[in-house]
Amino acid sequence: MIKVEHLYKNFGDFKALKDISLEINDGEIVSLIGPSGSGKSTLLRCIHGLEKADKGTVYLDGERMDPADKAKYAAQRRKMGFVFQHFNLFNNKTVLENCMLAPMSVGGKSEEEARAIAMEYLGKVGMADKIDSYPSRLSGGQKQRAAIARALCMNPEMMLFDEPTSALDPEMIKEVLDVMKELGRQGMTMIVVTHEMGFARKVGNRVVFLEAGEIIEENESEAFFSAPSSDRAKDFLSKVFYD
Amino acid sequence: MADIFTAENLQFMLKGAGFSLLLALGAVAIGCVLGIIFAIFKLSKNKILNFFGNVYVEIFRGTPMLLQILFFYLGVPVLYQRITGTRMNANPYIVGLIALSFNSGAYQTELIRSGIQGVDKGQWEACETLGISYKTMMKEIILPQAFKQIIPPLVSEFIMLIKDSSLISNIGALELLYSAQVLGKKYYDYLDPLIIAAVMYLTMTIVISWLAKKLERRLSVSD
């Protein structure tokens, strides 16, 4: 479970997040949506610690995440898998090596164990036949699936997705969303920053709508999409859905 | 004039060329280690390490290499004697190697620093989210990608070192240029030994450029 309390983040004069409080329960799939620059990616990055919040606290399973407590903080962060918009696979490593590096160097696994883990998750995301390819030889969808497998190899309790399909060609979006849907079906807690409204509605349990660094509306997915209560959310939805 | 082209003389010069190449190889390797260390210093958030990185680069880039060679050969023994009271005999080859290494290290520091900075930020973030340590990240991800980007300027650096190793002749190390001078003195003919030396330098540098191109092509499998 994640709890965010009164989070603030500025980039210079720009107030990216203003007093964000949020709770995400185990097994929940929460979609963060909103216009560009609304702070949804920043929020996700602050939860993981890729960005340091200026003020506010993140609790993981009831325990405060404190960067000053280095060992504990590192262990807490390892419970969260992170998937990037631009995949960020290691360019100089094959798909298999990408998945084996962290289990071996961080998780203390032997080479055989790491290989077995990597093969298991690469199989699950449908990348078993590409294990020896370098990222440059893969399509966007393949890269993202490999990146998801890489994060899963560390056996995280929850997965954070930062616009996982925004850099993909349209026909590759589904293969990635399918993998995410399957993950959710298996009970993975997920926070997904996304522009895929279909995914947020059908796969996600809850929607958090942000604008200008503030949470404008928060509701169950179906309720949010069928009857948004705020004018801003109505306006946003009317612009993203083309009738 | 023709009697200068004996097998013995050619061998003498080839030996000199061998020393030049060895010195350059040694210096590029040691300089690379220094370059990695000081590049990490320069990129560190620690102000003291930044300072040492900057001072090192400025000193060795900002003074003539010949001065550095003379300093290590003639200056350091005096310093040693003042501190310890005992004399030290400097070996020109070792001193030459040290001087070339430190000089090259300063240039390689800047090359490696730019290479590291050229690696996509996403690679660092991916390591961060996976919990990978700084050391593993550098060794496995960042430095391999940084070096791949800087192969062409590194090769130029190596070629410069082969040529700059000729400065070691000033402290009596028998490298290629000095060998040519020795023969020139012996036969009262500097033209032929110098041409032979030039051909040998060119052969080395052209072969290295060619090898570097092959290496670059091989490393591009992951592109």
Rounded alpha-carbon distances, angstroms, from residue A197 to A194, B130, B139: 8, 28, 41
Kindly report the nearest CA distance between residue B207 and chain A, in angstroms: 27
| A contacts of B123 (beta carbons < 8 Å) | 88, 90-91
A vs B, Cβ pairs < 8 A, gives 64
**Per-residue model confidence as pLDDT tens digits over A116-133:** 999 999 999 999 999 999
- State residue B2's pLDDT score: 58
- State residue B5's pLDDT score: 82
Q: What is the mean pLDDT of residues A207-220?
A: 94
- State residue B222's pLDDT score: 66
Q: For residue B149, what is the nearest residue in chain A, using CA coordinates?
A: A92
> Distance between terminal CA atoms of chain A?
38
Q: pLDDT confidence of A6, banded at 50, 70, 90?
A: very high
Kindly report the nearest CA distance between residue A72 and chain B, in angstroms: 12
**Per-residue model confidence as pLDDT tens digits over B122-139:** 999 999 999 999 999 999
Q: What are phi and psi of A4, to 5 degrees?
A: -110, 130
Q: What are phi and psi of A57, to 5 degrees?
A: -135, 145
Strand order in the sheet with A14-24: A14-24, A2-11, A55-60, A63-64
Closest to A101 in 3D by CA, of B123, B173, B222: B123
**Per-residue model confidence as pLDDT tens digits over A31-47:** 999 998 899 999 999 99
Taken in order of first residue, the domains within chain B and their CATH numbers are 2-222 (1.10.3720.10)
Q: Which residues of B touch A (CB under 8 A)?
A: 120, 122-123, 125-126, 128-133, 136, 140-141, 144-145, 148, 221-223
- State residue B4's pLDDT score: 80
- The rounded mean pLDDT for chain A is 94
Whole-prediction pTM value?
A: 0.89
Q: For residue B147, what is the nearest residue in chain A, using CA coordinates?
A: A92
Contact B87, B93 (CB under 8 A): no
pLDDT at A156 over 90: yes
Over its length of 223 residues, how does chain B's per-residue pLDDT go in tens digits? 557 888 888 999 999 999 999 999 999 999 999 999 999 999 999 999 999 999 999 999 999 999 999 999 999 999 999 998 888 888 999 999 999 999 999 999 999 999 999 999 999 999 999 999 999 999 999 999 999 999 999 999 999 999 999 999 989 888 899 999 999 999 898 999 999 999 999 999 999 999 999 988 888 776 6
Q: What share of chain B is helix, strand, coil (3-state, %, to 5)?
A: 85, 0, 15
Q: What is the mean pLDDT of residues A199-212?
A: 93
- State residue A243's pLDDT score: 65
CB contact under 8 A, B129 and A93: no
Contact A32, A196 (CB under 8 A): no
Structure tokens that stand for B85 in this block:
């009271």
Q: For residue A70, what is the nearest residue in chain B, using CA coordinates?
A: B131
Q: Is the ipTM of this complex over 0.95?
A: no
According to DSSP, the β-strands at A158-162 and A29-33 are unpaired
